[in-house]
Amino acid sequence: MTTFTFEVLVTLKDGLSDPQGKAVESALPSLGWTNVRHVRVGKHIELEVEAHDEASALEQVRGMAVRLLSNPVIEDYQVLEVAPK
């Protein structure tokens, strides 16, 4: 078994209101930044999976992204493999 490291990015689907992003956007002008738009806040999950091969590990991480890490109704996800050190 080999250990593979992945990152999963979970972001709200386009068009949905993003209250956390709005909060950041409205805080920025008081710090002097009035030139920032379209702030979207999502989740970044890093994890290590033990598997026989890379394809199987990736398949499993996609399963986790759909079933646990994201809400597929309102969120999109991307799975990225982190190169071994």
Which stretches of the chain bind a copy of itself, using CB under 8 A?
A: 1, 3, 9-11, 21, 24, 27-28, 31, 33, 35-51, 60, 63-64, 67-69
Name the residue with tokens 């996609």: 62
Sequence-separated contacts (24+) of 15-22 with Cβ below 8 Å: 16/74
Those residues whose C-beta lies under 8 Å from the C-beta of residue 85, and which sit 6 or more positions away, are none
Nearest distance in Å: CB 73, a copy of itself: 18
Q: Which is nearer to a copy of itself, 30 or 73 (CB)?
A: 30
Nearest distance in Å: CB 85, a copy of itself: 13
